[in-house]
Chain A
Amino acid sequence: MSERNIILKTPGLTMRFGGLTAVDNFDIEVQEGRIVGLIGPNGAGKTTCFNMITGFYNPSEGNIYFYDEDITGLPTHKVCAKGIARTFQNIRLFYNETVLQNVMIGAHLRQRSSWWQAPLNLPSFLREEKEISDKAMFLLEKVGLSDLAGEKANSLPYGEQRRLEIARALATQPKFLLLDEPAAGMNPQESWELMHFIQKTREDFDLTILLIEHDMKVVMGVCEHIWVLDYGKLIAEGPPEEIQANPKVIEAYLGEEYLENA
């Protein structure tokens, strides 16, 4: 365990919005190749952490290291180019585009040819466009959406939109994938499938995955390590069994609902 590389380190990460400290001294180390979780009650600051890591917010304090490289304050598109991809809590697809186009847009980041080659119709350009669309098709097969490649993204049911969003993120060839509540709005059967899908994706694409999730079955089932945020502060971390048994966590987050269901 100790010989693994650290893919993400966030010493002292803090985000203040005016008077509100949304995230206070968030300090985690994520090991390469793991699936890890970030949990906490509503408004705890989980999404804000994602927004800082992916360059949407510039942290008020602290740093973000991706493989020892300081990426604090890097613009979002450059963070993605470094190899960090994400999905959104409220799904954000390109709704006027087809399922295939959505994934091709993800793959555009790694495309070498530039726009002026399009009207010139050069063979190298056409070849790369074909490669991109083949690669997108391959990813759609992986997430089980290849039948729907030609459909508009907004015509997909909710669960499939979530999978499309993951396929699109994978198309950017990330090393580190951030999933913001991937199981939200899914029924138990779908979340169960999602758990296996996340595990398989990690294997197939050699990924490290950090996920935010409210569905405790998913979190406990899939995560090897968990951090707990409450009012912007980390209150616990550890393997799922420890987190489940930690009284602070039960009180702050899991509460009565969890005790009843346990």
Chain B
Amino acid sequence: MMGDRIRNHTLTLVAIFGLATFLWWANGNFDGYKIQIMNLIAINAILAVSLNLIYGFTGMFSLGHAGFMCVGAYVSSLLILPASQKEAIYILEPIIAPLHAAHAPFVVAVLLGGVVAAVFGLLIALPVLRLGGDYLGIATLGFGEIIRVFANNLVPITNGALGLKGIPGYANLWWNYGFMLFTFYVIIRIVNSNFGNALKAIRDDEVAAKAMGIDTYRYRVTSFTIGAFFAGIGGALLASLLTTIDPKMFLFVMTFQVLMIVVAGGLGSITGSIIGSVVITILLEWLRFVENPIIIGSFEIPGIPGMRMVIFSLSLVLIILFRREGLMGMRELTWDTLLSPFGKRGDVE
């Protein structure tokens, strides 16, 4: 047993080192487009794992991710935008003084983006979860829309519909994958602790969880707030990766994409969410071809904008109909299961 744990830790370290080597190699050899996709994979993995904590592990159906990302993106971007750039882009109304002066290093800005998103998460969770878990879906959906309305109208803060441009593009492979590993580490430690067991208990049977002395309200609020924190971090990184943001970026489709990854990977499976992020991010890019005109011989089929999301919605429906548990179900891909074909089976005790 002890030997297995040391082996597994070693393998994890080797895997992280392997990932780092790959990133280093990719940095020198991949073109910008491929690197962009790799960056998106890392950010999507952060978003998916954080939604999985809320929905997959605690059983709270939440549609608020785009809203939290939006908060994280604006907070962090305003902290890393140079003052001169702020003056240049706020043409409708000047930016308010405290924000004009505000500045922070990138890590701090990203973490603060997470913190403010978490505060928003807490403020939603406190009243809504009082009513039990049933109203969370609709309330978070409303929250996402309200945040966008604010982003559109609080012009001296957000620059309104014009959005923010020229955000420094600090979010390179190293930062994105670094934050991804940080997210994995924190959430895996939480989920594997006895606190995590209590969250799963609430998901499995709330009545029994209460009878076991679990304050289900407080635990739900905590889980939701932690999830919102990492969603904010994901949004902050995305803003710096894309270097421009505007309120339209955080429409419901954004939440939907993350939800898709989580459901496809398996609710309650971290490794499922990771695999889902890789596959679906690549698929989403690859599917862009359906939105471009396709020429077959002398025929030209015109591109249909939005077709990608149609295909995606259909696949989500198909997954729910035919494989509700997603790719992994609640199982995890562990070193033990990976190595078991090589004669390690039955070697547990």
Could you tell me which A residues sit within 8 Å of B by CB distance?
54, 56, 75-77, 80-81, 85-86, 88, 92-97, 101, 104-109, 111, 114-115, 118-119, 121, 129, 132-133, 168-169, 171-172
Let me know if A81 and B205 touch, CB within 8 A.
Answer: no
Let me know if A129 and B194 touch, CB within 8 A.
Answer: yes
Closest residue of B by beta carbon distance from A178:
B211
Let me know if A172 and B212 touch, CB within 8 A.
Answer: yes
When distances are taken between beta carbons in the complex, the residues of chain B under 8 Å from A114 are 195
Let me know if A106 and B195 touch, CB within 8 A.
Answer: no
B297 contacts the other chain (CB 8 A): no
Closest residue of A by beta carbon distance from B207:
A92
- If the complex has contacts A56-B207, A101-B197, A108-B198, are A118 and B190 also in contact, measured as CB distance less than 8 A? yes
B4 contacts the other chain (CB 8 A): no
When distances are taken between beta carbons in the complex, the residues of chain B under 8 Å from A119 are 185-186, 189-190
When distances are taken between beta carbons in the complex, the residues of chain B under 8 Å from A101 are 197, 200
Q: Number of residues in B with C-beta < 8 Å to the partner? A: 30
Q: How far is A122 from B44 in the complex, measured between Cα atoms in Å?
A: 30
Let me know if B205 and A132 touch, CB within 8 A.
Answer: no
B62 contacts the other chain (CB 8 A): no
Closest residue of A by beta carbon distance from B186:
A119
> What are 5 inter-chain pairs, A to B, with CB distance below 8 A?
A92-B208, A96-B268, A106-B213, A108-B194, A109-B213
Let me know if B204 and A108 touch, CB within 8 A.
Answer: no
Interface stretch (choices B135-143, B214-222, B274-282):
B214-222
When distances are taken between beta carbons in the complex, the residues of chain A under 8 Å from B212 are 77, 80, 85, 105-106, 108-109, 168-169, 171-172
Q: How far is A132 from B194 in the complex, measured between Cα atoms in Å?
A: 8
Closest residue of A by beta carbon distance from B219:
A115
Q: Name B210's contact: one of A77, A111, A118 (CB within 8 Å).
A: A77
Question: B138 CB to closest chain A CB, in angstroms?
Answer: 25
B209 contacts the other chain (CB 8 A): yes
Closest residue of A by beta carbon distance from B215:
A77
Question: A236 CB to closest chain B CB, in angstroms?
Answer: 29
When distances are taken between beta carbons in the complex, the residues of chain A under 8 Å from B214 are 77, 105, 108-109
Question: A117 CB to closest chain B CB, in angstroms?
Answer: 8
